[in-house]
Structure 1
Protein backbone atom coordinates (compact mmCIF):
# COMPACT_ATOMS: atom_id res chain seq x y z
CA UNK A 1 0.00 0.00 0.00
CA UNK A 2 2.03 2.95 -1.25
CA UNK A 3 -0.70 5.32 -0.05
CA UNK A 4 0.84 5.08 3.43
CA UNK A 5 4.13 6.55 2.17
CA UNK A 6 2.19 9.19 0.20
CA UNK A 7 0.32 10.14 3.38
CA UNK A 8 3.64 10.37 5.28
CA UNK A 9 5.03 12.72 2.61
CA UNK A 10 1.86 14.83 2.61
CA UNK A 11 1.98 15.16 6.38
CA UNK A 12 5.64 16.21 6.31
CA UNK A 13 4.83 18.91 3.73
CA UNK A 14 1.82 20.05 5.76
CA UNK A 15 3.89 20.28 8.96
CA UNK A 16 6.58 22.30 7.15
CA UNK A 17 3.99 24.70 5.75
CA UNK A 18 2.23 25.07 9.10
CA UNK A 19 5.54 25.95 10.77
CA UNK A 20 5.83 28.87 8.32
CA UNK A 21 2.41 30.15 9.43
CA UNK A 22 2.73 30.18 13.21
CA UNK A 23 1.61 26.58 13.72
CA UNK A 24 -2.06 27.24 13.07
CA UNK A 25 -4.65 24.47 13.15
CA UNK A 26 -5.18 22.47 9.95
CA UNK A 27 -8.82 22.46 8.88
CA UNK A 28 -8.67 21.09 5.32
CA UNK A 29 -6.07 19.86 2.87
CA UNK A 30 -7.00 19.42 -0.78
CA UNK A 31 -4.98 16.95 -2.82
CA UNK A 32 -5.21 16.78 -6.60
CA UNK A 33 -4.32 13.44 -8.15
CA UNK A 34 -4.31 12.35 -11.75
CA UNK A 35 -6.14 9.29 -12.96
CA UNK A 36 -2.79 7.75 -13.97
CA UNK A 37 -1.08 8.47 -10.63
CA UNK A 38 -2.14 5.03 -9.28
CA UNK A 39 -3.56 6.58 -6.10
CA UNK A 40 -6.48 4.77 -4.49
CA UNK A 41 -8.40 7.65 -2.88
CA UNK A 42 -10.04 5.48 -0.21
CA UNK A 43 -6.68 4.01 0.84
CA UNK A 44 -5.06 7.46 0.99
CA UNK A 45 -7.95 8.81 3.07
CA UNK A 46 -7.65 5.90 5.48
CA UNK A 47 -3.86 6.29 5.76
CA UNK A 48 -4.29 10.04 6.36
CA UNK A 49 -6.88 9.45 9.07
CA UNK A 50 -4.81 6.78 10.82
CA UNK A 51 -1.62 8.85 10.72
CA UNK A 52 -3.31 11.99 12.08
CA UNK A 53 -5.15 10.26 14.94
CA UNK A 54 -3.95 11.56 18.31
CA UNK A 55 -1.86 14.31 16.66
CA UNK A 56 -2.44 18.04 16.34
CA UNK A 57 -3.72 17.33 12.81
CA UNK A 58 -6.52 15.07 14.07
CA UNK A 59 -9.90 16.00 12.64
CA UNK A 60 -8.50 17.71 9.55
CA UNK A 61 -10.47 17.03 6.41
CA UNK A 62 -8.74 15.50 3.40
CA UNK A 63 -10.41 16.49 0.13
CA UNK A 64 -9.28 14.74 -3.03
CA UNK A 65 -9.95 15.66 -6.63
CA UNK A 66 -9.08 13.49 -9.60
CA UNK A 67 -7.63 15.13 -12.72
CA UNK A 68 -8.62 13.63 -16.07
CA UNK A 69 -6.14 12.17 -18.50
CA UNK A 70 -5.34 14.56 -21.36
CA UNK A 71 -3.20 13.30 -24.25
CA UNK A 72 -1.62 14.90 -27.32
CA UNK A 73 -1.59 12.77 -30.45
CA UNK A 74 1.92 12.11 -31.71
CA UNK A 75 0.70 12.17 -35.32
CA UNK A 76 -1.74 15.07 -35.68
CA UNK A 77 -1.11 16.98 -32.43
CA UNK A 78 -4.74 16.94 -31.33
CA UNK A 79 -5.35 17.08 -27.57
CA UNK A 80 -8.00 14.74 -26.21
CA UNK A 81 -9.21 12.84 -23.16
CA UNK A 82 -9.59 9.11 -23.74
CA UNK A 83 -12.99 7.61 -23.01
CA UNK A 84 -11.57 4.59 -21.19
CA UNK A 85 -10.00 5.01 -17.73
CA UNK A 86 -6.73 3.59 -19.08
CA UNK A 87 -4.59 5.54 -21.50
CA UNK A 88 -2.73 2.39 -22.62
CA UNK A 89 -4.97 2.06 -25.67
CA UNK A 90 -6.41 5.42 -26.66
CA UNK A 91 -7.10 6.01 -30.34
CA UNK A 92 -6.94 9.66 -31.36
CA UNK A 93 -10.41 10.92 -32.30
CA UNK A 94 -8.84 13.03 -35.05
CA UNK A 95 -6.61 10.63 -36.98
CA UNK A 96 -7.07 7.24 -35.29
CA UNK A 97 -3.44 6.86 -34.12
CA UNK A 98 -3.48 4.41 -31.21
CA UNK A 99 -0.03 4.61 -29.62
CA UNK A 100 2.73 7.00 -28.64
CA UNK A 101 0.69 9.92 -27.37
CA UNK A 102 2.18 12.49 -24.98
CA UNK A 103 0.53 12.62 -21.56
CA UNK A 104 -0.30 16.27 -20.79
CA UNK A 105 -2.16 15.63 -17.54
CA UNK A 106 -3.30 12.72 -15.47
CA UNK A 107 -0.09 11.81 -13.61
CA UNK A 108 -0.03 14.68 -11.11
CA UNK A 109 -0.17 14.36 -7.34
CA UNK A 110 0.08 17.57 -5.32
CA UNK A 111 -1.42 19.61 -2.51
CA UNK A 112 -3.70 22.21 -4.09
CA UNK A 113 -4.32 24.12 -0.87
CA UNK A 114 -4.29 24.05 2.92
CA UNK A 115 -6.96 25.72 5.01
CA UNK A 116 -5.54 26.83 8.33
CA UNK A 117 -7.11 28.70 11.22
Structure 2
Protein backbone atom coordinates (compact mmCIF):
# COMPACT_ATOMS: atom_id res chain seq x y z
CA UNK A 1 0.00 0.00 0.00
CA UNK A 2 1.82 3.13 -1.22
CA UNK A 3 -0.49 5.31 0.86
CA UNK A 4 1.66 4.54 3.93
CA UNK A 5 4.73 6.09 2.31
CA UNK A 6 2.62 9.07 1.23
CA UNK A 7 1.49 9.47 4.85
CA UNK A 8 5.10 9.34 6.01
CA UNK A 9 5.84 12.21 3.65
CA UNK A 10 2.88 14.20 4.95
CA UNK A 11 3.89 13.65 8.58
CA UNK A 12 7.51 14.57 7.77
CA UNK A 13 6.28 17.80 6.16
CA UNK A 14 4.16 18.58 9.23
CA UNK A 15 7.11 17.89 11.57
CA UNK A 16 9.30 20.27 9.53
CA UNK A 17 6.61 22.98 9.69
CA UNK A 18 6.30 22.44 13.46
CA UNK A 19 10.05 22.99 13.87
CA UNK A 20 9.99 26.03 11.62
CA UNK A 21 6.93 27.71 13.17
CA UNK A 22 7.06 26.37 16.72
CA UNK A 23 3.64 24.78 17.10
CA UNK A 24 3.18 21.80 19.41
CA UNK A 25 0.04 20.13 18.11
CA UNK A 26 -1.90 19.76 14.88
CA UNK A 27 -5.69 19.71 15.16
CA UNK A 28 -6.49 19.08 11.50
CA UNK A 29 -4.77 18.52 8.18
CA UNK A 30 -6.50 19.43 4.92
CA UNK A 31 -5.19 17.47 1.94
CA UNK A 32 -6.08 17.76 -1.75
CA UNK A 33 -6.06 14.38 -3.50
CA UNK A 34 -6.62 14.10 -7.24
CA UNK A 35 -9.08 11.42 -8.32
CA UNK A 36 -6.70 10.34 -11.10
CA UNK A 37 -3.74 9.96 -8.74
CA UNK A 38 -4.43 6.35 -7.72
CA UNK A 39 -4.61 7.22 -4.01
CA UNK A 40 -7.29 5.49 -1.97
CA UNK A 41 -8.70 8.08 0.46
CA UNK A 42 -9.66 5.41 3.02
CA UNK A 43 -6.18 3.89 2.93
CA UNK A 44 -4.68 7.38 3.23
CA UNK A 45 -6.83 8.11 6.32
CA UNK A 46 -5.89 4.76 7.90
CA UNK A 47 -2.21 5.28 7.11
CA UNK A 48 -2.24 8.78 8.52
CA UNK A 49 -3.65 7.55 11.84
CA UNK A 50 -0.92 4.91 12.07
CA UNK A 51 2.04 7.02 10.89
CA UNK A 52 1.14 10.11 12.95
CA UNK A 53 1.28 8.24 16.30
CA UNK A 54 3.88 9.80 18.57
CA UNK A 55 4.18 12.97 16.43
CA UNK A 56 2.73 16.50 16.65
CA UNK A 57 0.03 15.25 14.26
CA UNK A 58 -1.19 12.42 16.50
CA UNK A 59 -4.96 12.64 16.86
CA UNK A 60 -5.29 15.25 14.10
CA UNK A 61 -8.33 15.07 11.89
CA UNK A 62 -7.43 14.35 8.25
CA UNK A 63 -9.75 16.15 5.83
CA UNK A 64 -9.45 14.88 2.26
CA UNK A 65 -10.74 17.01 -0.60
CA UNK A 66 -10.97 15.02 -3.82
CA UNK A 67 -9.96 17.06 -6.87
CA UNK A 68 -11.65 16.09 -10.15
CA UNK A 69 -9.65 15.32 -13.27
CA UNK A 70 -9.26 17.99 -15.92
CA UNK A 71 -7.11 18.53 -18.98
CA UNK A 72 -6.32 20.94 -21.78
CA UNK A 73 -7.39 19.62 -25.18
CA UNK A 74 -4.92 20.78 -27.81
CA UNK A 75 -7.45 20.18 -30.59
CA UNK A 76 -10.42 21.97 -28.98
CA UNK A 77 -8.22 24.56 -27.22
CA UNK A 78 -10.24 24.31 -24.02
CA UNK A 79 -10.20 22.80 -20.56
CA UNK A 80 -12.23 19.60 -20.38
CA UNK A 81 -13.11 17.14 -17.59
CA UNK A 82 -11.12 13.90 -17.51
CA UNK A 83 -12.49 10.66 -16.12
CA UNK A 84 -9.26 8.69 -16.69
CA UNK A 85 -5.58 9.25 -17.33
CA UNK A 86 -4.75 9.54 -21.01
CA UNK A 87 -8.46 9.59 -21.80
CA UNK A 88 -9.94 11.09 -24.93
CA UNK A 89 -11.35 14.59 -24.97
CA UNK A 90 -15.08 14.37 -24.18
CA UNK A 91 -15.70 17.19 -26.67
CA UNK A 92 -13.88 16.02 -29.82
CA UNK A 93 -12.79 12.43 -29.03
CA UNK A 94 -9.10 13.11 -29.72
CA UNK A 95 -6.33 11.97 -27.37
CA UNK A 96 -4.30 15.19 -27.47
CA UNK A 97 -5.17 16.10 -23.89
CA UNK A 98 -2.64 17.37 -21.34
CA UNK A 99 -3.74 16.62 -17.76
CA UNK A 100 -4.00 19.82 -15.69
CA UNK A 101 -5.78 18.57 -12.55
CA UNK A 102 -6.65 15.36 -10.78
CA UNK A 103 -3.16 14.01 -10.12
CA UNK A 104 -2.21 16.13 -7.12
CA UNK A 105 -1.46 15.24 -3.53
CA UNK A 106 -1.01 18.44 -1.60
CA UNK A 107 -1.22 19.51 2.02
CA UNK A 108 -3.40 22.58 1.65
CA UNK A 109 -3.84 23.71 5.24
CA UNK A 110 -2.93 22.87 8.82
CA UNK A 111 -4.91 23.87 11.88
CA UNK A 112 -2.43 24.04 14.77
CA UNK A 113 -2.13 24.95 18.44
Structure 1: give runs of 5+ residues left out of the alignment: none
Q: TM-score, normalised by structure 1?
A: 0.87
Match of 1:30 in 2: 30
What TM-score do you get using the length of structure 2 for normalisation?
0.90
Check whether the contact 1:72–1:78 (CA below 8 A) recurs between aligned residues.
yes
Give deviations 1:11-37, integer Å, cap 9, x for gaps: 000000011221321000111011111
Distance in 2, matches of 1:74 and 1:51, equals 42
Map of 2:104 onto structure 1: 108
Q: Contact conserved, 1:7 with 1:44, CA < 8 A, in 2?
A: yes
Change (3 A) 1:109 1:12: same
Measure, in 1, the Cα distance between the counterparts of 2:3 and 2:105.
12
Aligned to 2:71: 71
Q: What is the aligned length?
A: 113
Aligned CA-pair RMSD: 1.5
Structure 1 75/48 Cα, relative in aligned 2: closer, same or farther at 3 Å? same
Contact 2:35–2:103 (CA<8 Å) still a contact in 1?
Answer: yes
Report the structure number with the largest CA radius of gyration: 1
Tell whether the 8 Å contact from 1:29 to 1:111 is kept in structure 2 after alignment: yes
Q: Choose between structure 1 and 2: higher strand proportion.
A: 2
